[in-house]
Amino acid sequence: MLHFSARLLSDTLGTLARWRLAPCRTLAVLGLSSLALVARAQDLPAAVLRQPVLFNLKSGFNLSTYTGGGYIGWQTGLKGGFTGGLSATRRLSARSAWQVELLYARIGAVRHDYWHTYSRWHAANLPPASTENSCRSELHYLDLPVLFTYGPGSGNRPGWYLAGGPQVSLALDRQETVVPTNISHADDFKEIVGSGAEALTRWNWGYLVGLGYQIAGGNAGIELRYSGGISNVYRDGQGSGAFYAGSGNGFHNGSIQVLLNLVLSGGGWRWGTDANDVFPDSSSPSAEPPQPREQPRVQPRQERSEQLPRPQPAAN
């Protein structure tokens, strides 16, 4: 079991309390503190503490919707979006690693057969109120997952790996739009029915699990993930936004993500100084741990065999 520095944890919590009005700085502190906790693990061997921190670029798409919450959860459909950002990985052993990420995610949900009254209905000869509409909720978050990975591909090695851990998300913005579904050029009549992050739960807690594979060489890979929310999407008293007036808000975000993982060349930062103190590549059966350095042998001091001539007395 890992025992972390109590003083470091106390300092981190104190900083978060002082910065509760600065969400971006709080996210930065959470990410740096996660790496620092790994660095200060007291029971880890010296080989772990000398592992470099590897930086990766992640980018891909997601399919998201609302889950739970009864009527809201099963009436909403999937919406396409984008997920991307940076990650920092540090190896713990030949088959495991820590991974801290900072990602931007555009998620949300779609509701079909939505009842809406258009303000410009007469311009397209639409009825003033109709259910032939589609309501799209687009939510913007900044995600910070802290993951533990296990498998031959952990820590940017070639092979497969499993990943899982908690995630905290900061709500950045929201936009809810309605478009008719029974006419051509529907986007010309799109109307905004809700916007702004004030109605959203500011800090959204959740979890992330996934399966990944790094190709030979470990410079690129692909990940299939599921990101699930634990907190409600909307704040208490805000209902479900524009989806259903007066409805409850006991539903959560859920998204399936497919991400490409690109290793940034030269993106390694090492705490230690011994370059030979690294883990072997578990995917190679011939990999051997580094051998200890040989100490130069000290040659025994040789005694001088020749004797200096004694001085002869001077002749008279």
Which pLDDT tens digit goes with each residue over 71-87? 777 788 899 999 999 99
Predicted TM-score (pTM) of the model is: 0.71
Give the mean model confidence (pLDDT) for residues 15-44.
47
Residues 271, 50: contact at Cβ < 8 Å?
A: yes
Distance, in Å, from the CA atom of 88 to the CA atom of 103, rounded to the nearest integer, reads: 12
Domain ranges of the chain: 16-270
pLDDT score, position 299: 63
Residue 222: strand pairing partners: 213, 260
**50: which residues sit within 8 A by CB, 6+ positions away?**
270, 271, 272, 273, 274, 277, 278
The token pair at 19 is 């910065």
CB 99 within 8 A of CB 88: yes
Give per-residue pLDDT as tens, 81-117.
999 999 999 999 989 999 999 999 999 999 888 888 7
pLDDT at 207 over 50: yes
Instruction: Give the residue among 202, 182, 206 at the shortest CA–CA distance from 140.
Output: 202
- With vertex at residue 254, the alpha carbon angle to CA 249 and CA 256, rounded to the nearest 5 degrees, is 165
CATH class of 16-270: mainly beta
Q: What is the mean predicted confidence (pLDDT) over 223-250?
A: 86
Residue 70 tokens, joined: 């009864």
> Could you tell me the CA-to-CA distances from 61 to 77, 252, 283 in Å, in that order?
16, 19, 29
pLDDT (0 to 100) of residue 217: 74
